[in-house]
Amino acid sequence: MLTFPSPRTQWKLDAVSILAILGEKNIGLNSHLILSSKTCLLPRLLPAPQGLYADRLDRLPTEPVKICGVFSGNVRESLSYFGQLLHGTGQELPDFSVREIRLKLKRDKAEFRLRWLAPLNALAVGSSVVTVGLLIWAALIKDGVAVVGIIIMAFTTAVLCLASNWRLKPRLTPRIGTNTPPGDVVLRHTKGCFTVVKCDESVARLIYFGPEEIEYLLPNPTISRFLGGIVGGLTLTTAIVMFGNSTWTMQVALSVTYAVLNALYWGVAVLPPKFSWDLSAVEMEERTYDAPAADEEKDQDTATRSRTYETMPTFTRALFRAIQFSGTTEWVLRSDSCPNTPVWNEWLRQAQEQLEHPTAGWDCQQALSKIIVEHKMLAAASGLERSPVQRAL
């Protein structure tokens, strides 16, 4: 016959000690957002607070995207954090598509900051209220061990957050002279996609080429490591021991609290980060097009051509569409969008001619194929074993 503990006090709830340190992955994913708000300094229960103790960031996370200034010549190998929040990394775009974006500052002092009603801010305030409620409950039932454990764990969270709390270093909006060329930028993504950003130089420097520097509340890294590693580690261990020796009632309450908090932080981790940031300083218009089909290139003028294409696009057509939007081919080689070979150089020359003097019936894909054939014939005529085209391909 199966037996179970009869009095409820015989049930062992050591799981509360495990639940208190579970969920480190969720906290780690949210750590840069948690630590950027002053609400992180509120004493409260937090699942796996050790997840906050990570390497100090020098800058916000970036994504590998080739960025090239159309007229400025600036080149960067990564997309800034706020560039990702504004228009994504390009992974969401269809294959061989081209996106045109227009960015404009709404005010002179452009800065990005956390929303006061960001999900993590609301969660921090809510968990602080719950922590106070648990503390009062433990005091009412005279559970001294739980009272001490809750106080120590709550201040452990505050100490760990104090060690790594940061803010964006204030940046002045660059002053641009009247003779400064446009700050248009081209982003080359995977899957043969391009993003052409129309903006002035101040926006380009603010979002794409300027540094996103971090300023810590405790600038001395030694003090930060001491608070986070030694003080935070000791208090965390002490609090877990206290939780394991609290009454059955408080162990149940703490287990439920940590389980719910873990679920909430997991939910926040899957939300897009843009829900947490105020990006209203920048106004954005976005349009996405497929690369044009061959018959549409022949039959329609560039200025009146339809923006919707139903045939399968190619990289060459996507590249030519990006060239049309940017108005020049100067950025193509700088961004490594095509090989620096005689075939592609000739194609770029013809593409630039089409921008300046459009020719009816010119097809970018057929033009490239024709150039390749011509170079093969020249190579065969000169007796070369391998043509420049073959070396490029």
pLDDT over threshold 50, residue 110: yes
Tally of domains within the chain: 2
Residue 2: inside a domain: no
List the beta bridge partners of residue 97: 290
Residue 180: inside a domain: yes
Is residue 172 domain-shared with residue 256, that is, in the same domain?
yes
Domain boundary among 247, 265, 290: 290
Span 189-201, pLDDT tens digits:
988 899 999 998 8
Is residue 135 domain-shared with residue 202, that is, in the same domain?
yes
Summary count for the chain: helices (H), strands (E)? 15, 10
pLDDT over threshold 60, residue 288: yes
Which range (13-27, 121-135, 141-155, 259-273) has the least confidence? 13-27
The pLDDT score that the predictor gives to residue 77 is: 93
List the beta bridge partners of residue 257: none
Residue 85: inside a domain: yes
Is residue 73 domain-shared with residue 120, that is, in the same domain?
yes
- 248-275 in b/e form (b: 16+ CB < 10 A) is ebbbebbbebbbebbebbbebbeeebee
Is residue 196 domain-shared with residue 59, that is, in the same domain?
yes
Domain boundary among 275, 290, 305: 290
Is residue 98 helix, strand or coil?
strand
Residue 235: inside a domain: yes
Task: State the Cα–Cα distance between residues 42 and 40, nearest whole angstrom.
Answer: 5
Domain boundary among 265, 290, 315: 290
Span 239-258, pLDDT tens digits:
888 888 888 899 899 999 99
Which range (9-23, 268-282, 354-368) has the least confidence? 9-23
Task: State the Cα–Cα distance between residues 253 and 247, nearest whole angstrom.
Answer: 10
pLDDT over threshold 70, residue 263: yes
The pLDDT score that the predictor gives to residue 135 is: 96
Is residue 251 domain-shared with residue 313, that is, in the same domain?
no
Is residue 230 domain-shared with residue 376, that is, in the same domain?
no
Name the phi and psi angles at 388, rounded to 5: -55, -30
* Mean pLDDT estimate for the chain: 83
C-alpha distances in Å from residue 315, one per residue of 2, 320, 333: 69, 9, 15
The pLDDT score that the predictor gives to residue 245 is: 84
Looking at the chain, list the stretches that DSSP marks H as alpha helix, in order from N- to C-terminal side. Answer: 15-19, 24-34, 81-87, 119-140, 144-164, 201-204, 221-225, 232-244, 248-269, 294-299, 315-326, 330-334, 342-356, 364-382, 388-392
For the chain, give the number of residues: 393
For 38, other C-beta atoms within 10 Å of its C-beta total 13
Is residue 298 domain-shared with residue 232, that is, in the same domain?
no
Residue 209: inside a domain: yes
Range of the domain at 347: 292-392
What's the helix, strand, coil split of the chain in %, to 5?
50, 15, 35
Structural element, H or E, at residue 176? none
Gyration radius (Cα) of the chain, Å? 29
Is residue 180 domain-shared with residue 242, that is, in the same domain?
yes
Is residue 264 domain-shared with residue 322, that is, in the same domain?
no
Question: How confident is residue 130, by pLDDT bands cut at 50, 70 and 90?
Answer: very high
Is residue 276 domain-shared with residue 310, that is, in the same domain?
no
Is the overall model pTM greater than 0.85, yes or no? no
Between these two residues, 371 and 52, which has the higher pLDDT value?
371
Question: How confident is residue 212, by pLDDT bands cut at 50, 70 and 90?
Answer: confident
Task: State the Cα–Cα distance between residues 205 and 201, nearest whole angstrom.
Answer: 6
C-alpha distances in Å from residue 388, one per residue of 172, 197, 339, 379, 392: 49, 34, 11, 8, 6
Is residue 207 helix, strand or coil?
helix
Contact 269, 82 (CB under 8 A): no
Question: How confident is residue 299, by pLDDT bands cut at 50, 70 and 90?
Answer: very low
Is residue 111 domain-shared with residue 206, that is, in the same domain?
yes
Span 53-108, pLDDT tens digits:
766 777 888 899 999 999 988 999 999 999 999 999 988 898 899 999 999 988 66
Residue 3: inside a domain: no
Residue 5: inside a domain: no
Name the phi and psi angles at 32, rounded to 5: -65, -30
Residue 112: inside a domain: yes
Between these two residues, 239 and 175, which has the higher pLDDT value?
239
Task: State the Cα–Cα distance between residues 251 and 174, nearest whole angstrom.
Answer: 56
Query: Which DSSP symbol is given to 213?
Result: B
Is residue 20 domain-shared with residue 99, that is, in the same domain?
yes
pLDDT over threshold 70, residue 374: yes
